[in-house]
Amino acid sequence: MDLGEFDGMEAEHWAAQYQDFIKTWRNAPSSLRMPGGEGLQEVQIRAIDTLEHIANLYPPGSTLLLCSHNFVNRSILCYVSGIPLDRFRYVRQDLAALNILCKNEGRWHAEVINDVSHLKKI
C-alpha cells in the first residue's frame, strides 16, 4: 500500500498529527486515502487485477505461489470472502502466514486463511 506522506513515519507521530484521519481510519478505513498515497479500495483493485492477471497466465488447475504484504493480503481475503473492506482488521494475517486461494467456475474462494502451522515454535 502506498502510504504517501505516512511512509516511514512512526504510527504515534501520524496519530498525533492527523487525529481526524485516525478516527476515520479506525471506523471507516475504506473511505480514506493516505495523504499523497492510496486507499484500501485502490489496493484491493490493484491486488485482484494482479491476481487475475497472474492466474490467467497458467492453465486452470495450476498451483501458484505468490507472496505479498499485510494490507494486500487482507484486501484480497476480504474480496474472496465477501468481507467489507471496513472490516479488514478482522482478517488475521500473522507474519509468514499461509493462505490458500482457489478459483472455481470464475470465482475465488479461500480454503485456508492465516495458517502458521509450518512455523517452528521457539
Q: Which of 117, 110, 68, 113 is nearest to 91 (CA)?
A: 113
If one counts the domains in the chain, the total is 2
7, 23: one domain: yes
CB 75 within 8 A of CB 88: yes
Strand, coil or helix: what is 115?
strand
pLDDT the model gives residue 112: 96
Look up the domain containing 71 and give its range.
39-122
**Residue 108: its pLDDT value, please?**
95
Question: What is the pLDDT tens value at each position of the chain, 122 positions in all?
Answer: 888 888 888 878 877 888 888 888 889 999 999 889 999 999 999 999 999 999 999 998 899 999 999 999 999 999 999 999 999 999 999 999 999 999 988 899 999 999 999 998 87
Q: Name the residue type at position 35.
A: P
Q: Both 73 and 52 in a single domain?
A: yes
Alpha carbon distance 93, 74 (integer Å): 7
Per DSSP, the residues of 78-89 read HHHHT--GGGGG
Give yes or no: residues 7 and 56 share one domain.
no
Looking at the structure, tell me whether residues 77 and 120 fall in a common domain. Answer: yes
74 lies in the same domain as 116: yes
Residue 28 CA, chain-centre distance (Å), reads 16
Q: Which three cell numbers stand for residue 21?
A: 484521519
Task: Give yes or no: residues 71 and 86 share one domain.
Answer: yes
Instruction: Please report the pLDDT score of residue 35 as a whole number.
Output: 86
Give the per-residue pLDDT at 75: 96
Is there a single domain that holds both residue 15 and residue 51? no
CA angle, corner 54, sides to 71 and 48, nearest 5? 35
- On whether both 23 and 53 belong to a single domain, the answer is no
Question: What's the CATH number where 86 sits?
Answer: 3.40.50.1240
